[in-house]
Amino acid sequence: MRGNPEFIRNLWTEISFHRAVVMPAVTGMLFLLIWLINGQQTGAATAQAAALMFCAIAFVWGTRVASESVVQEINGRTWDTQRMSAIGPWTMAWGKLFGATVYIWYGALICLGLYWMSYVDVIPADRIVKLIGVYVLCAVIAHATGLLVSMQAIQKRRDFGRVQIAFYQFLGLAAAVPGLYIGLSGIADDGIYRVLLFYDRVYPLIDFMLVALAVFAAWALVGIWRLMRAELQMENGPWVWLGFVLFATGVAAGIRLLPPEVSAGMPAISSKAYHGFSMLLILTYMIALSEPKGPVLFRRLRRYVELSDWAGLVNAVPRIVPTLLLLALATVGLLRLSDARVQVLEWPVNFHLATVATFLLVLRDVGFIYLLNIARHSPRNDMTAFVYITLAWTVVPVTLSAMGLEPLTALFWPKWDSGAALTIGAPLAQVVVVYVLFWRVWLHKVASRR
């Protein structure tokens, strides 16, 4: 760490003598108060108090600090100076992630020390270590996700306010809370390990979560490194993103998520494939809404084609393109692995038609996102598209169904058992309309300008 100038700069900036004294004093006083209330005994009550202090410091405060670490540099007009320095992207990535939050970790580790002290005579040491590992890894994921999404937003805009920072903080917390909840539930109150079924093999839940959290934290750090490369004007190919997509899809496919009464209606292999397919859908929307897009990007792609620079074209092509190709392959694979018709609970489902309709609706939504971005210039385009898509999948079809217009809901979500004409025809017509509009805007905004 001594060789990382970004980390050293943050270390000297964030930890002054006054702050170094205040943190243990405040946390110690709060812990002492709980200790006195608990009859001057350590145990579950003091351990929970230490855990709550850790969550307040590491998750709430720390995610906020990580999310605004680069944004503050941009608002303070110092980011361009750092970009022109000799610091490499990897050094800058982890220097920012752990340097900006170094004071947070100072307080968080004090809380974890108090947590250990409270539980050391109650539960075995190896289980305490595993619980602490869950807390630490989830905090790293929260910080890394907050920084990651803020840097992704930097690619599209250069002015930020408190609302944007709060949104990035929320996304960081949303990425960490499920892992924290599942990881801590890996040990029951009586100390018995809970288990998880992964690719039909049984693993202790907390052990599995520790490995999974560590790997996803590493992926988040890799994502920050890639965005740092983009900020330093270095080219990034699509291969790292595709590797993450395949990894996340494979992990989701191996975990049993559906209730037994639902998954019983599908063959075991198609149930696993559906889990992976669902993760791939989530990642498709994630990359479609997050990556930069607009007329400038498409003019750049056209220029690569005119120069026959195929390597540059592959590096610059939006990540949504290979992701949609993977989704199309996954759709075909899911159709081959599943029965045409299944019974889910008491409802018959035409699984093949519903799967194809789902792919078409995703294709429609992606086209709509890009149509909105090249039709007008606004930093709020993706948020606007997200709101419209959310309404199209929730409020609108529910309202139509409540009004007795059930056939019209085929325009907004896959029908389960309504025949091919309605189930496939409705989303296919929307895909045609969206991409025809996209082509017309392309001709006006991109192809006509050189």
Q: Is the pLDDT of residue 191 over 60?
A: no
Distance between CA 298 and CA 293 in Å, rounded?
8
Q: 280 or 201: whose pLDDT is higher?
A: 280
Q: 274 or 361: whose pLDDT is higher?
A: 361
pLDDT confidence bin for 327, thresholds 50/70/90: very high
- Percent of the chain residues past pLDDT 90, beyond the cut: 38
pLDDT value at position 260? 57
Q: Side-chain half-sphere of 215: how many Cα atoms within 13 Å? A: 11
Furthest CA-CA distance within the chain: 78
Sign of CA dihedral 8, 12, 17, 18: negative
Average of per-residue pLDDT across 363-373: 93
Q: Which two tokens mark 58?
A: 């590491």
pLDDT confidence bin for 422, thresholds 50/70/90: confident
pLDDT value at position 190? 55
Angle subtended by helix axes 44-54 and 102-119, to nearest 10: 170
Reduced to 3 states, what is the DSSP secondary structure of residue 185? Answer: coil
Identify the helix (H) or strand (E) that includes residue 350.
Answer: strand 347-350
Beta bridge mates, 348: 343
Q: Is the pLDDT of residue 435 over 60?
A: yes
pLDDT value at position 434? 94
Q: Please, where are the H alpha helices in 185-267?
A: 205-231, 239-254, 260-263
Q: Which two tokens mark 98?
A: 């752990």
Could you tell me where the beta strands, DSSP code E, fall in 99-257?
195-198, 201-204
DSSP per residue over 304-316, as a string?
A: HHHTT-HHHHHHH
Which residue bears the tokens 């759709």?
331
| Phi-psi category of residue 202: left, alpha or beta, with phi > 0 → left and psi -120 to 50 → alpha | beta
pLDDT value at position 42? 80
Q: Which two tokens mark 162?
A: 């408190």
Q: Give the type of residue at 51.
A: A
CB distance 139 to 59 below 8 Å = yes
pLDDT value at position 279? 92
Average of per-residue pLDDT across 42-58: 90
3-state secondary structure 251-275: HHHHECCCCHHHHCCCCHHHHHHHH
Distance between CA 324 and CA 284 in Å, rounded?
7
What is the CA 71 to chain-centroid distance, rounded? Answer: 19
pLDDT value at position 193? 64
Distance between CA 253 and CA 276 in Å, rounded?
4
Q: Centre a 10 Å sphere on the Cβ of residue 37 and count the other Cβ atoms it contains.
A: 11
Average of per-residue pLDDT across 328-354: 77
Q: Is the pLDDT of residue 147 over 90?
A: yes
**pLDDT tens digits, one per residue of 201-223:** 888 888 999 999 999 999 999 99
Q: Which two tokens mark 437?
A: 């509009």
Distance between CA 156 and CA 137 in Å, rounded?
29
Q: Centre a 10 Å sphere on the Cβ of residue 138 and count the other Cβ atoms it contains.
A: 28
Distance between CA 136 and CA 134 in Å, rounded?
6
pLDDT confidence bin for 235, thresholds 50/70/90: confident
Mean pLDDT, the chain, whole residue set: 85
Q: What are phi and psi of 419, to 5 degrees?
A: 90, 160
User: How does DSSP classify residue 319?
Assistant: T
Q: 108 or 306: whose pLDDT is higher?
A: 108
Task: Find the range with the poorest average confidence among 149-163, 404-418, 422-436.
Answer: 149-163
pLDDT value at position 450? 54
Average of per-residue pLDDT across 306-324: 87
Q: How far apart are the first and last CA of the chain?
A: 48
Residues in the chain: 450
Task: Find the range with the poorest average confidence among 79-83, 103-107, 109-113, 202-206.
Answer: 79-83
Quick one: CA torsion of 110, 116, 117, 119, rounded to 10 degrees?
Answer: 150
Nearest to 342 by CA among 354, 331, 333: 354
Average of per-residue pLDDT across 194-207: 84
Which residues are CB-neighbours of 67 under 8 A, at least 6 positions away?
Answer: 146, 147, 149, 150, 165, 168, 169, 172
Q: Give the type of residue at 221.
A: L
